Amino acid sequence: MVAVLKPGVTQQQIDNLTAWFKSKGLDVHISVGQYHTILGLIGDTSKIDIELLEGLDMIESVKRITEPFKSANRKFHPDDTCVEIADGIRIGGGHFQLIAGPCSVESPEQILGIAESVKASGASILRGGAFKPRTSPYDFQGLRAEGIELLLEAKKRTGMPIITEIMNQNHLPLFEEVDIIQVGARNMQNFELLKELGMTRKPILLKRGLANTLKELLMSAEYIMAGGNNKVILCERGIRTFETYTRNTLDLSAIPMLRELTHLPIVIDPSHATGIARLVKPMALAAAAAGADGIMIEVHNDPQSALCDGAQSLTPDQFRDVAEKVRKIREVVAQ
Ligand SMILES: [Mn+2]
């Protein structure tokens, strides 16, 4: 971190500030120029409140050299993280997975039928919402605990690991046999929930909030990792912009940008990003080409009667086509 002092600062002020930085465990490198004195702060500055410093009369500007996220930062962990989901199923570090399933678990026949068909098409992880964060309290809220039971039944029958969303840390006991716990976009900054998930050793798929920056996403990942759980998978699912033709705007540049910033695996969700079934395939192919470690797609056996997100759900046949083309794109990109 570098602090530029205002012209005319006295030696006494510089000494006081230097002593304060040293009391925080930092080394201070002082560089005196013709007009400005610059303090270079060496050490762990992650706990320094940059706004507090900027508010001091004697300080002109402050700049961080190192990002405030440590555990998620590629600088301190150059190799890609590979998260083990189940026997032989990994995400990251060259391992790619297709995650598919309905927005919500609706019935035993529905979830099992979809699980079998997406598995046959090449999906390796089954998704399905049990606790649903809906914008309206009058919309279908999910089958809740019963939904998780049905997912576990589908897991037992198909052998597919499952991913489902948690909304409240009090529900954690229900997630004991869930393979990946999803934190939805609306809960990305539910810090108490993130801290609790940091205490588990479960893979966590952390979705980017609808109006959050990549830095905020990484800081949320940091919350989970600070508790000792390094199995974090990041998910870009579209952000809110002024565009209204699509549900959200899929920020595909998040893939190469996050790749530079972090070692964590990156999954793309083209279903929630676009909200329109016919846009899912082109965006899934683009995500594969841009180097995503996984793609998560909503699939429903009867999208028109889906209790949630029918408009963006693919039929099993459409999913088979997307899965096949994604495989081809990945082969081409790997050449
Ligand atoms: Mn959905």
Q: Which pLDDT score, from 0 to 100, does residue 48 have?
A: 87
CA of residue 87 to ligand 1 center, whole Å: 27
pTM (whole model) above 0.85: yes
Find the 193 Cα to ligand 1 centroid distance in Å. Answer: 20
- Exposure pattern of 290-318 as b/e (b: 16+ CB <10 Å)? bebbbbbbbbbbebeebbbbbebbbbbeb
Q: What is the pLDDT along the chain (335 residues), one digit of tens a residue?
A: 999 999 989 999 999 999 999 999 999 999 998 888 999 999 888 888 889 999 999 999 999 888 889 899 999 899 999 999 999 999 999 999 999 999 999 999 999 999 999 999 999 999 999 999 999 999 999 999 999 999 999 999 999 999 999 999 999 999 999 999 999 999 999 999 999 999 999 999 999 999 999 999 999 999 999 999 999 999 999 999 999 999 999 999 999 999 999 999 999 999 999 999 999 999 999 999 999 999 999 999 999 999 999 999 999 999 999 999 999 999 999 88
Looking at residue 141, what is its pLDDT? 93
Three-state DSSP class for residue 268: strand
Region for residue 291 given its phi and psi (left: phi exceeds 0; alpha: psi -120 to 50; beta: otherwise): left
Count of CA atoms in the C-beta half-sphere (13 A) of 163: 30
| Residues measured by CB to lie within 5 Å of ligand 1, the ion | 103, 309
**pLDDT value at residue 270:** 98
- pLDDT value for 151: 98
Give 263 Cα–ligand 1 centroid separation in angstroms. 27
Ligand 1 centroid from CA 192, angstroms: 24
**Please, what are the domains in the chain?**
2-63 (3.30.70.1140), 74-334 (3.20.20.70)
